[in-house]
Amino acid sequence: MEDEVVSHAFSHGFHPEHVERLAAYWAEALGGPAVYSEAYGGETFVVRMHSGNGEHGEMDRRAIACFDQALADTGLDGTAALRQALHDYFAWATTTTMSRYHHSADDVPEGLSIPRWGWDGLQK
């Protein structure tokens, strides 16, 4: 949130439990229990929150770079397979599901499920 480009996404504030909610979302997306969907509203809610802001390719690229640096800073990049799987997930989510509806949050359909990600990418 300290990056000069990425921080714009948080310039209007964010939920006080942002980190906990993000952890629950990522845990579910990476194969854990459906805590996020059950407690906070699922994928439609998340995608609407990230929609209607126009295209933001530079911010997406910077967010991915920040994520990769965070993996390095925490030591989670020590295993190539883990680093690649987490990078691929974050890059995919940032540039697809979270940025698909540039024009309006009203375009996001009801009933979306949190996509599941595994070692080999998006799970069908």
Q: Over the stretch 49-66, which tens digit does the pLDDT of each residue have?
A: 888 777 878 888 999 999
pLDDT at position 55 is: 82
pLDDT at 10 over 70: no
Q: How far is CA 123 from CA 30, 38, 56, 109, in A?
A: 10, 20, 26, 21
pLDDT of residue 105: 92
Ranges of beta strands (E only) in the chain are 117-118, 121-122
DSSP 8-state code for residue 15:
-
List the beta bridge partners of residue 118: 121
Query: CA-CA distance, 100 to 69, in Å (whole number)?
Result: 25
**Where exactly are the structural domains of the chain?**
16-122
- 41: tokens are 């509203």
